[in-house]
Amino acid sequence: VCSLSRKAEGVGRPGDDLDLFCVPNHYVEDLEKVFIPHGLILDRTEKLARDVMGDMGGHHIVALRVLKAGYTFFADLLDYVKALSRNSDRFFKSYCNDQSTGAVKVLGGDNLSTLAGKNILIVEDIIDFGKTMQIFLSLVQQHNPKMVEVASLLVKRTPRSIGYRLDFDGFEIPDKFVIGYALDCNEYFRDLNHVCVISETGKAKYKSEAESPG
């Protein structure tokens, strides 16, 4: 039996050349390197799903996604969790209108009043300073949930961090501007499968495009 740690994997590797991966041609000049390949992301996400099941798999769970950028990690993590729940003696379900949906219930921010007494999994794409997550946790706690745990794909090492520690974290990364796997720069790069470091050319191009009139 493999023992899986919930501690984030550090990404100390310098990254890989773009020509080793399938990268859309229109992004090649805008990327510095591939930082975390898609296959490695999926492998780590599956391990995080096992950690979630180990802690929360015996309960009915409501999953919340914080920001738009986290939708790919959110979907992949919950797909793994649901697959694990089907192959175990524990069930990962939530309830909607008093009937089991057989899946995780996803709520918008305007439905937080329904969280009372529920077991909540908050899913985020990246934790930078930790301040936003602390504010959101405070908001959720106001509605008296039974349990709240947080999962994030990336945790950034930065001196500006307020020291927030989450429950399930995928990769610990340096303080760099990363995009891909739904992380964006002014709405670009969401379609990129890998987590990549954007180049200075890319930063300048997409910042200027976003600021241009019309």
Is residue 3 predicted with pLDDT exceeding 60?
A: no
How do residues 139-183 score in pLDDT, each as one tens digit? 888 889 998 999 999 998 877 776 778 889 999 988 888 999 988
Write down the pTM of the prediction: 0.78
Does the annotation count 19 as an active-site position?
no
Which position among 55, 128, 167, 184 bears the catalytic label? 128
Domain boundaries, the chain: 9-211
Sheet holding 31-36, edge to edge: 31-36, 195-198, 178-179
Q: Which residue has the higher pLDDT, 149 or 90?
A: 149
3-state secondary structure of 186: coil
Q: Tokens 């773009």, residue?
A: 18
Q: How far is CA 177 from CA 32, 33, 85, 106, 201, in A?
A: 11, 12, 35, 29, 13
Domain 9-211: give its CATH architecture: 3-Layer(aba) Sandwich (3.40)
Grade residue 129 by pLDDT with cuts at 50, 70 and 90: confident
